Amino acid sequence: MKTQNNSIRNIAIIAHVDHGKTTLVDHLFRQSGAFRSNQDMGERIMDSMDLERERGITIAAKNCSIDWKGTRINIIDTPGHADFGSEVERALMMADGALLLVDASEGPLPQTRFVLKKALASNLAIIVIINKIDRHDARAKEVLDEIYELFLDLEAGDHHIEFPVFFAIGRDGKIKRNLNDELCDLSLLLEEIIKTIPGPSYDTEAPFQMMVSDLGWSDFLGRLVIGKVVNGSTKVNEKLVRMTEKGAEPLRVVKMQIYQGITFHEVDEISPGDIVILAGVENAEIGDTVCHRDYQKALPRIHIDDPVVSMEFAGNTSPFSGKEGSIVQSSRILERLKKEALDNVGIQVEEKNGSFIVSGRGEFQMAILAETMRREGYEFIIGRPIVIFKKENGKTLEPVEYVCLDIDSTCTGTASDMLARRKGKMLNFITKDARVRLEYLVPSRTMIGFRNEFLTATRGAGLINTYLHGYEEYKGEFSGRQNGVMVSDRTGRVTPYALHCLEDRGVFFIDPGIMVYEGMIVGEHARSNDLSVNVTREKKLTNIRAANKDENVVLTPPLRMNLEKAIEYIADDECIEVTPLSIRIRKKILGTQQRYISGRIAQPQA
């Protein structure tokens, strides 16, 4: 017999990057009394990773809870970037409802659509919040109409379309039901959550069942598993089993915790609907079911979309290997990648010819993984992202992305040409005042490297949003990067004199004074071919001095390459050396003559 646990509400928060979901959660904590009045909460409670705070995005789905008038509200903060879609899917599995947060100016964007589609497929009750209504360009009424259109496009049922709506200034923690009402605190929203979002349903006669939705680690308790109790209850030290794809494994839970605020609270018993942390479940994988040993029935495993891109990771083979990183062994790199695959079901790892092929949702996800490893002291090299094709009925299919550009009307022609060159197909063209919104379907492989070129062409004023649309028949060859690169032909220290003499050949990526090695890419060539250059050349000294000949050399500032830019920039015969201190672009074959013999450069230059 099915019933509901009305003392609990489990809600996810759906929003595009930078629409204010993490800030809203912070204010819910402040106003619900989750902290003492004199307690320092810090900024952005939910975004605890350094990368999340720096980039202003949510990468990993996290959980917390607040108590409101006797009801525990478990809040699951989800990533807004489509590359972290596996985190989204896991978060929605634990939720019974969702808050859809939309910017009052930008409206619902592609990645909002991506997460909302999955929420509707999970039949979650939705509460809509139109945030940032204090923006000078806010258009709350139009945005509400766009949200209704989005629900209709996603073929939502009547019970989904009749959603409650709030208008908010999340930064101030203020909200109202109608635009003409006075702003009030978030208690209005908390009351609506309890009224609209159903309590978790469960079978009163079924024994204990819990789906593993996330994994954690404690130095004291070892492997932690996190998930929602679907049916039944259990106590500490009760004999349970873990249902895997291969069968059942016995286990004994040594400690159980639930969320209280942003910390854990130890309990002796857990009930249906609880989002819990269990210790003592070794070797668990996401998607496993923990259940009673006398009722060994697995829940349906979590379905994660197939990976779209793969990238090669390997130990560092450059002449500077081991100088900047503390962890350089290939075995340690593989161990770290396998740990990431355990924690993130959206990533797959396989060994191939001494390197490791990591597959995931997009190059941004790969860049975050590489940046995280870099900060942990690892030193390694990564190759160019490669799109994963499919074969169906004898045809080659490739992933296609939905691309939405928001640009100034003066840049329309440039942006259209760029996407047409990338084999894009226009879907929509919308004009709003002096801004234009372009919607395209573009092959994923041609979009690698597009972001930086687009931002340069629009002088930083363009907005780009993408998500995976599906698979279509292969669209044909794409030429990729138009310019060649300048490659150092020897190891040494870069001199200002050498850079000054070579400035007319292209744009440099390096500063004078740094060490380079043979095969390291030091700049972009002005022409389409690669050029070997000597950037360590020094000015010859003579005993003849003419007046005004020893003036200071003035150099053009170099083009700075961060990890994401480098990943988008490199060609198939190039790779990136990643260390805790440096990011260097290099050729896979370092020797100038070896590259010449293999036909990778037209002719070595003196």
Give this prediction's pTM. Answer: 0.75
Q: Does residue 360 sit in the same domain as residue 435?
A: no
Q: Is 603 among the domain residues?
A: no
Torsion of Cα atoms, 552 then 554 then 559 then 563, to 10°: 10
Q: Does residue 383 sit in the same domain as residue 417?
A: no
| CB-based contact 104:135 (threshold 8 Å) | yes
Beta strand 97-103 with 125-131 is parallel
Q: Does residue 128 sit in the same domain as residue 11?
A: yes
Q: Is 480 among the domain residues?
A: no
* Residue with the two structure tokens 């979309």: 305
Q: Is 466 among the domain residues?
A: yes
Q: Does residue 380 sit in the same domain as residue 413?
A: no
Single out the residue in 199, 215, 244 at which a domain terminates.
199
Q: What is the pLDDT of residue 163?
A: 92
Residues 104-158 pLDDT 10s: 988 888 778 878 888 898 889 999 999 999 988 889 999 999 999 999 988 888 8
What is the distance between the alpha carbons of residues 283 and 278, in angstroms, rounded to a whole number? Answer: 13
Q: Does residue 507 sit in the same domain as residue 590?
A: yes
**Any idea what the CATH number is for the domain that residue 414 is in?**
3.30.70.240
What is the distance between the alpha carbons of residues 228 and 277, in angstroms, rounded to a whole number? Answer: 9
Q: Does residue 403 sit in the same domain as residue 490?
A: no
Q: Is 479 among the domain residues?
A: no
Q: Is 433 among the domain residues?
A: yes
Single out the residue in 340, 369, 387 at which a domain terminates.
387
Q: What is the pLDDT of residue 61?
A: 47
**Closest by Cα among 567, 585, 576, 455 to 530:** 585
Q: Is 299 among the domain residues?
A: no
E strands, 463-563, in order: 463-473, 485-488, 492-493, 506-508, 515-516, 521-525, 531-533
**Any idea what the CATH number is for the domain that residue 347 is in?**
3.30.70.870
Single out the residue in 199, 215, 235 at which a domain terminates.
199
What is the distance between the alpha carbons of residues 481 and 449, in angstroms, rounded to a whole number? Answer: 8
Q: Does residue 379 sit in the same domain as residue 411?
A: no
For residues 269-279, one letter each, b for 16 or more C-beta atoms within 10 angstroms of the residue's C-beta and e for the rest, the string is ebbbbbbbbbb
Residue 58 sits at φ, ψ, to 5 deg, of -100, 125
Residues 264-281 pLDDT 10s: 888 888 989 999 988 878
What is the distance between the alpha carbons of residues 604 and 531, in angstroms, rounded to a whole number? Answer: 7
E strands, 455-541, in order: 463-473, 485-488, 492-493, 506-508, 515-516, 521-525, 531-533
Q: What is the pLDDT of residue 424?
A: 92
**Any idea what the CATH number is for the domain that residue 153 is in?**
3.40.50.300
What is the distance between the alpha carbons of residues 290 and 239, in angstroms, rounded to a whole number? Answer: 11
Q: Is 242 among the domain residues?
A: yes
For residue 158, the number of C-alpha atoms closer than 13 Å in the C-beta half-sphere is 0
Q: Does residue 374 sit in the same domain as residue 412?
A: no
Q: What is the pLDDT of residue 507?
A: 94
| CB-based contact 485:530 (threshold 8 Å) | yes
Q: What residues in the chain have per-residue pLDDT under 50?
A: 43-44, 47-48, 52-53, 56-61, 81, 83, 600-606
Q: Is 237 among the domain residues?
A: yes
**Region label for 126, one of left (φ > 0), alpha (ψ between -120 and 50) or beta (otherwise):** beta
Torsion of Cα atoms, 565 then 569 then 573 then 576, to 10°: -10
For residues 487-506, one letter each, b for 16 or more C-beta atoms within 10 angstroms of the residue's C-beta and e for the rest, the string is bbbbebebbbbbbebbeebb
What is the distance between the alpha carbons of residues 286 and 366, in angstroms, rounded to a whole number? Answer: 20
Q: Does residue 422 sit in the same domain as residue 276?
A: no
What is the distance between the alpha carbons of residues 591 and 576, in angstroms, rounded to a whole number? Answer: 16
Domain containing residue 571: 485-597
Q: Does residue 258 sit in the same domain as residue 125?
A: no
**Any idea what the CATH number is for the domain that residue 270 is in?**
2.40.30.10
Amino acid at 393: N
**Any idea what the CATH number is for the domain that residue 551 is in?**
2.40.50.250
Structural domains counted in the chain: 5
Q: Does residue 264 sit in the same domain as residue 329?
A: no
**Closest by Cα among 490, 483, 574 to 524:** 483
Q: Does residue 180 sit in the same domain as residue 321?
A: no
